[in-house]
C-alpha cells in the first residue's frame, strides 16, 4: 500500500520452514499452514525456501518422472489455495520443449524453479540461472540453467523480481539485470546449508547486493537437517542502503514479517499484475534476531542435524556408549538438547582396563543430564574372544588386535540394544580421530549417525565448556574435561602415545583436510617435516576406513563425506 507520495510499502512474510525431502504431503501442508499465518498477518506476499515442495536437496529423486509429476500436482494445489496474498514457492519444473524425442533416454529438461501464485493460479515461474556445482552442490547433474529472465511482477503496487539462491551471489548476475529492468524489490529463495564460517559471509553478500543495486532484498532460507547437511535459517530483509531491517532466528522455524519500503514505481516499468495492495494496516515492528555466540551456532547445528536425522528416519530414541571421555560426553549433551533426556540412553561397558574414574565420570554425566545409564561389562565376551583365538594367535604378541576386539564387543553390544529396543546408535568419534584413522572399524565406528564427525578434538573441548557455561553448572564433569584423553584399551593408555598433541594435530589437519594444502606447503609454513609426513600418511591411508562411517553433521566447509571425496586407491604424496 502507498505510504507517501514518493514511497510504497509491501508487507512480506518470510516462511522459514523445516520441509522433508520427498514428503510432498507434509511439505504442502506446511506451506498451507504458513500461508494462512501470512494472510492473517496481512501480508501481500509470502515466500518459501528453495525447492520447498520436494525438499532440498532432492538429489536423484528428481530423476524419477513420477516424483516430478507429483511435485507439479502439489504446486497446482498451492496455486488453488492462494488468494490476494501472493505465494512464492520453490519446486522442480519439468519443461518438455519438444527438443527431446519420445524414444530418447534423456528426460525433459528440469529446472530449479520458483513459482509465483495468486488468486488461484500460477502467475509466473522463474528458473534458477546460476547452478552451483562445487562442495556439496551438484545441481548441474540434475538441472538446466534458466535463461536471462527479467520478468517483473506487480504485487500490491510494488514491482518485484524472483531469483533463487546462487543467482544472488554474483555481482553482475541476474539480480543486477532485474534491477536494471525496473525491479523495486528482489525476492530470493534459498536452500543455503550451514557451515561455521558461512553465515556472516552469506548475510554480507545480501547486504552487498542491496547496496550495489540500491534495491531491498528479501532473502528466505530453510531451517532443517537433511542427512549430513544442516540449514540454519537466518532469513533476512535488507533495505536499499544495505541495512538489515529484519532477521529471523537461526535453527528455528519462523514466519518473519516485514514492511518493506520502496520508491514509487516508475510509470515506464512493465510488470505482470499479480495482486492489489492490502487494506490500511498498522506497521509491524521490525524483528532483528541476535547473532549467537559462534559456539552456540555450532551446538545448534549439531542438535538440529541430530534431531532431524533421528526423527525423520522414524526413530524416537538414541543410544550411545559412555566411556567417561569428552567425546561421548559432548555427544550425549547434544542428544539431550536435540531429543530430550527421556529419549537418550547411555551405556557403560567397562573392561579390565577401564579406570574407576572413567566409570564414575560416565555415571556423573548421566545423572547431570538426566538420562538413564545401563552398565554392561564386556569382560565375559572379551575373555571368550581371547580364549577362542588362543590357538590361532599362538606365539604372537598381544597388539592392536586385542585392543580392537574390545571396541568391537562394545559395538556389537550397542547394536544389540538398537535391535532390541529400536534405538538409533550414535557414534562418538571426532574429526581429528576420523582423519587419522584412530578408530576401530566395526567397533566404536558402528552406528547410525556420527554427531561430531566434523568437529576437531580441540573444538570438542571448546564446545563442552560452552555446554556447561550455558547450563550454569557442570553438565559435563570437570574431571572429564581435565583428564588426558584415552581409549583405555590397554594399561595406562593415552591418546598422545599414538598421536601428536591435539593442538598440533588439528592445526595440520585444518591445512591438509580443510584447505587442501599439500604436505610440502604445510612444511613450508614451519611445521616439522617428519610430523607432517606422518600425519598426512595417516590421513591418506585411512580413506578406506572413513568410507565405511555413518553420516554425520557437517559444520565446516570441508567435511568428510559429501565435501571431501578422494580416491581410496591413491598414490599421490605431495
- Identified catalytic residue from 30, 43, 117, 128: 128
Question: Quick one: cell of 446?
Answer: 558402528
Instruction: For residues 324 and 152, give the distance between their C-alpha atoms in angstroms, rounded to a whole number.
Output: 60
Cell numbers at 3, concatenated: 505510504
CA atoms within 13 A on the CB side of 338: 30
Asked if residues 346 and 373 have their Cβ atoms less than 8 Å apart, the reply is yes
Q: Which residue carries 544389540 as its cell?
A: 416
- Distance from C-alpha of 555 to C-alpha of 408, rounded to nearest angstrom: 28
Interior angle at CA 133, CA 130 and CA 138, nearest 5: 115
What are the angstrom distances between the C-alpha of 198 and each of 57, 175, 193, 503? Answer: 18, 21, 9, 24
Select which of 43, 85, 117, 165 is catalytic: 165
CA distance 94 to 111: 7
- Contact at 8 Å (CB) between 563 and 312? no
DSSP string, 36-51: HHHHHTT-SEEE--TT
Q: Is the peptide bond before 241 cis (omega within 30 degrees of 0)?
A: no
Positive or negative: CA dihedral 389, 395, 400, 403? positive
For the record, the C-alpha cell of 255 comes out as 514466519
**Residue 128 is a catalytic residue:** yes
Give CA–CA dist 306/553, Å, rounded.
7
- Among the listed residues 50, 139, 228, 254, the single catalytic one is 50
> Whole-angstrom Cα distance, residue 379 to residue 349?
9
Contact assessment for residue 277 and residue 1, using Cβ atoms and an 8 Å cutoff: yes
How many angstroms separate the CA atoms of 192 and 164, rounded? 10
Query: What is the C-alpha separation between 303 and 226, in angstroms, rounded?
Result: 13
Q: HSE (CB half, 13 Å, CA atoms) of 369?
A: 32
Per-position DSSP letters for 134-182, written without gaps between them: STT--GGGT-PPP------EEETTEEEEEEEGGGGSSTTSHHHHHHHTT
Is the Cα torsion angle 530, 535, 539, 545 positive or negative in sign? positive
Q: Which residues are catalytic?
A: 50, 128, 165
Amino acid at each position: 500500500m502507498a505510504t507517501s507520495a514518493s514511497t510504497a510499502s509491501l508487507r512480506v512474510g518470510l516462511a522459514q520452514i523445516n520441509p522433508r525431502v520427498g514428503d510432498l504431503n507434509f511439505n504442502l501442508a506446511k506451506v498451507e499452514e504458513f500461508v494462512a499465518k501470512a494472510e492473517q498477518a496481512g501480508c501481500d506476499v509470502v515466500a518459501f525456501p528453495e525447492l520447498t515442495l520436494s525438499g532440498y536437496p532432492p538429489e536423484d529423486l528428481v530423476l524419477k518422472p513420477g516424483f516430478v509429476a507429483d511435485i507439479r500436482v502439489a504446486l497446482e494445489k498451492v496455486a488453488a489455495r492462494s488468494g490476494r496474498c501472493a505465494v512464492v514457492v520453490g519446486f522442480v519444473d519439468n519443461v518438455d520443449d519438444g527438443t527431446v524425442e519420445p524414444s530418447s533416454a534423456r528426460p525433459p529438461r528440469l529446472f530449479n524453479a520458483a513459482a509465483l501464485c495468486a488468486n488461484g493460479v500460477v502467475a509466473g515461474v522463474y528458473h534458477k540461472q546460476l547452478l552451483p556445482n562445487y562442495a556439496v552442490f551438484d545441481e548441474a547433474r540434475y538441472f538446466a540453467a534458466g535463461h536471462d529472465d527479467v520478468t517483473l511482477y506487480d504485487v500490491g503496487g510494488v514491482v518485484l523480481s524472483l531469483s533463487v539462491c546462487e543467482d544472488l551471489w554474483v555481482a553482475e548476475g541476474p539480480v543486477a539485470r532485474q534491477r536494471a529492468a525496473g525491479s523495486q524489490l528482489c525476492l530470493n529463495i534459498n536452500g543455503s546449508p550451514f557451515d561455521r564460517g558461512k553465515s556472516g559471509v552469506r548475510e554480507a553478500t545480501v547486504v552487498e547486493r542491496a547496496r550495489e543495486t540500491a534495491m531491498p532484498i528479501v532473502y528466505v532460507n530453510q531451517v532443517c537437517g537433511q542427512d549430513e547437511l544442516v540449514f540454519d535459517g537466518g532469513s533476512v530483509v535488507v533495505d536499499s542502503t544495505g541495512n538489515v531491517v529484519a532477521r529471523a532466528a537461526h535453527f528455528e522455524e519462523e514466519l518473519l514479517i516485514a514492511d518493506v519500503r520502496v520508491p514509487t514505481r516508475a510509470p515506464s516499468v512493465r510488470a505482470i499484475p499479480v495482486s492489489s495492495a492490502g487494506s490500511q494496516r498498522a506497521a509491524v515492528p521490525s524483528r532483528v534476531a541476535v547473532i549467537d555466540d559462534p559456539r552456540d551456532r555450532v551446538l545448534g547445528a549439531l542438535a538440529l542435524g541430530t534431531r532431524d536425522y533421528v526423527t525423520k528416519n522414524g526413530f524416537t530414541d538414541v543410544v550411545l556408549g559412555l566411556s567417561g571421555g569428552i567425546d561421548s560426553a559432548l555427544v550425549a549433551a547434544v542428544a539431550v538438547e536435540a531429543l530430550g533426556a527421556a529419549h537418550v540412553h547411555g551405556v557403560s561397558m567397562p573392561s579390565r582396563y577401564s579406570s574407576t574414574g572413567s566409570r564414575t565420570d560416565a555415571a556423573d554425566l548421566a545423572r547431570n543430564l538426566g538420562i538413564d545409564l545401563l552398565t554392561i561389562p564386556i569382560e565375559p565376551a572379551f575373555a571368550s574372544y581371547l580364549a577362542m583365538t588362543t590357538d590361532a594367535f599362538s606365539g604372537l604378541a598381544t597388539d592392536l588386535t586385542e585392543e580392537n576386539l574390545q571396541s568391537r564387543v562394545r559395538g556389537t553390544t550397542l547394536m544389540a540394544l538398537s535391535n532390541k529396543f529400536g534405538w538409533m546408535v550414535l557414534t562418538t568419534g571426532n574429526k581429528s580421530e576420523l582423519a587419522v584413522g584412530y578408530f576401530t572399524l566395526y567397533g566404536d565406528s558402528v552406528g547410525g549417525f556420527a554427531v561430531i564427525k566434523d568437529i576437531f578434538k580441540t573444538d570438542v573441548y571448546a564446545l563442552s565448556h560452552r555446554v556447561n557455561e550455558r547450563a550454569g553448572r557442570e553438565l559435563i564433569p570437570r574431571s572429564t574435561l581435565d583428564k588426558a584423553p584415552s581409549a583405555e584399551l590397554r594399561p595406562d593408555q593415552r591418546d598422545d602415545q599414538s598421536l601428536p598433541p591435539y593442538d598440533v594435530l588439528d592445526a595440520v589437519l585444518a591445512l591438509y583436510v580443510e584447505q587442501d594444502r599439500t604436505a610440502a606447503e604445510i612444511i613450508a609454513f614451519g611445521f616439522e617435516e617428519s610430523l607432517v609426513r606422518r600425519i598426512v600418511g595417516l590421513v591418506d591411508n585411512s580413506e578406506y576406513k572413513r568410507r565405511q562411517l555413518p553420516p554425520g553433521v557437517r559444520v565446516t566447509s570441508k567435511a568428510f563425506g559429501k565435501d571431501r571425496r578422494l580416491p581410496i586407491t591413491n598414490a599421490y604424496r605431495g
